[in-house]
Amino acid sequence: MDPFIFVLHGLNDSRTNKHIYFAFGLVVYIVTLFVNLTLIITIILEKTLHEPMYLFICNLFLNGICGASAFYPKILADLFLDSNIISFTGCLIQMYIIYCYLFCEFTSLTVMAYDRYVAICKPLEYHNVMTHQKVVNLLVFIWIFSLLQVSVAIVLTAQTPLCGNDIDKLYCFNWDVVKLSCTDITVNNVYGYIIMFFQLFQAVFIIISYTRIIRAALKSKTERVKFMQTCLPHLITLINFTISVLFDVLCARYGKGQELQTLRNILGIEFLVVPPLLNPIIYGLKMNQIRRFVRMYSHKINFRTSVAHQG
């Protein structure tokens, strides 16, 4: 048995509210899994959707399932069992998956910005640039780059002696654990800034890409339509995700005060709950091809079900 136990201070003390939160959380988690899996299966089954943009979107949906599954099962168990503790090993595992989700999400959005830049700014070169092999390489890069960043951070945290076990969140977050250290955390801090530099570099790349995309879209009606159909969902996802994560990270490192902590808990849930649920809805409703094929497969399933009942 793990000798070190963390206490997560984020749940409401009201038992009635906990039951309401459990029911609501369970419904949202099921809906999140359903919409993401539906679109993933649709993209996999429909060969006409095996284009770079849709493969990157499919990867985004898969990552959303990972992020949601790192959060919901634990919080639902805590609500149902009226518990708020987690073992040291369990905490490290939860942090690893959540951070993988965060880094993979942002790296995916960066790669998608590059894909849209080539599609709109260099349309004649698109298929020569975004070859099947390059798309595979980019997908592998998204996961390997994210996993490596997280692995180093978690190893550093696992080796840090701790003098406390109280975490003011609903789940384990790396910096909240590191702050409980009994020893100097300079190495952890420096590595945190190195990661922030990588994220800043990606953010600058996204800004430059979209500056050029918007300029190209303003020159042509066709490109404006393409921008509204394929880039607008990406921008909505990017802005929502970036603001919530940035606020949470800044509060974790520099914020103080119970009022700020309450807001941080809300936004800390937001970037784990909203993007996995919002992404498939945004892309599914905005992109005609995905919407059309989802309807087609839904009709097929309904037809087969009705035939089976009649038989």
**Rounded distance, CA 46 to CA 39, Å?**
10
The string of pLDDT tens digits covering residues 172-208 is 888 888 888 888 888 988 998 898 888 889 988 988 9
Q: What range does the domain containing 28 cover?
A: 5-298
Segment among 38-52, 106-120, 292-306 with least mean pLDDT: 292-306
**pTM of the complete model:** 0.85
Judge whether 309 lies within some domain: no
Number of separate domains in the chain: 1
Q: Which of 30-34, 46-50, 164-168 has the highest mean pLDDT?
A: 30-34
Judge whether 311 lies within some domain: no
Better-predicted residue by pLDDT, 37 or 243:
37
Judge whether 305 lies within some domain: no
Nearest alpha carbon to residue 91 among 28, 180, 198 = 180
Judge whether 306 lies within some domain: no
Q: For 211, list phi and psi in degrees, rounded to 5.
A: -65, -45
Judge whether 260 lies within some domain: yes
The pairing of beta strand 5-8 with beta strand 85-87: antiparallel
Judge whether 308 lies within some domain: no
- The pLDDT of residue 3 is 58
The string of pLDDT tens digits covering residues 103-116 is 999 999 899 999 98
- The pLDDT of residue 26 is 94
The answer, yes or no, to whether residue 144 has pLDDT greater than 70, is yes
Looking up tokens 């095996």, which residue turns up? 50
- The pLDDT of residue 211 is 86
Judge whether 196 lies within some domain: yes
Judge whether 56 lies within some domain: yes
CATH of the domain at 125: 1.20.1070.10
- The pLDDT of residue 27 is 95
